[in-house]
Amino acid sequence: MSRSNHPARLSSLQLSLPFARDEYSLLSSLKKILGKDIGLTLTDNRTSMLSIRRKAEKPNLRIHRIFLEADEPVIQAVADFVRNRRSARPVIQAFIRQRSSSLKSLAVRKTPLRTDGVFYCLATLFDVVNAEYFQGEISAFITWGRRLAGRRTRRVTLGSYCRDSRTIRINPILDRKGVPRFFLEFVIYHEMLHAALGTVVANGTRRVHTGEFRRREMQFAAYEQAISWEREHLGGQ
């Protein structure tokens, strides 16, 4: 979470697995098969790995990033899913079962997590926010970031979310007595939204802070308080 309003920094690293592709080629393949424009949102949501929103101006497909590994028959099945054809489901379900080991491997971390702080425990706050706003469905990791020595910069990144490792990192400058709990929960909520909503691909560009993201962000109970506190206490950093 950076209040510079710049898009979140996304990793360009792709899975080195058979048929690996990026979101642009996946979207292009689906458009070609369907013969029409659609929206595409990549997610890390293992509860709902494939869903379609049809009421918008154009259909928007929400799809787990594991489908970046899919071969052409599976992509065809995804297109059939968009067309609401039942024949697509067995192919898609078989693909998910075959890739179940890959899904489990995404949860393996090689670096330790640091959730205990001097004033706040991130694991506790994560569980509270997850239960209240996401029905406990967010499976990301959370940790304090490193304290970096050196001169201060004008732009402060309060939090970040890495999709490759599904890790939320929170700036340790927020682990201090003067930071209210509601503000730290808001930063965590912001990063959890990135995990929940994924990346939207539109007109050849990735978007993470979409209109839907901003609408959901404002649903945080202490949203106005958090924005005001940040402007007052961190606006000059």
Domain membership flag for residue 35: yes
Domain membership flag for residue 173: yes
Domain membership flag for residue 15: no
Domain membership flag for residue 191: yes
DSSP-H helix ranges across the chain: 23-34, 72-82, 88-98, 100-105, 122-134, 181-197, 211-217, 223-233
Per-residue confidence of the chain (237 residues) as pLDDT tens digits?
655 443 333 333 333 334 456 778 888 899 999 998 888 888 877 767 888 887 667 888 888 888 888 889 999 999 999 998 888 989 998 988 887 766 655 544 556 789 999 999 999 999 999 999 988 888 889 999 987 655 454 567 899 998 778 899 999 999 999 999 999 999 999 999 998 888 776 666 777 788 889 999 999 999 999 999 999 988 745
First to last CA, the chain: 14
**Tokens, residue 104:** 């489990």
Range of the domain at 208: 122-233
Domain co-membership, 137 together with 84: no
The C-alpha atoms of residue 156 and residue 2 are separated, in whole angstroms, by 6
Query: Is residue 63 within 8 Å of residue 120, measured between CB atoms?
Result: no
Domain membership flag for residue 5: no
Query: Is residue 180 within 8 Å of residue 200, measured between CB atoms?
Result: no
Domain co-membership, 126 together with 213: yes
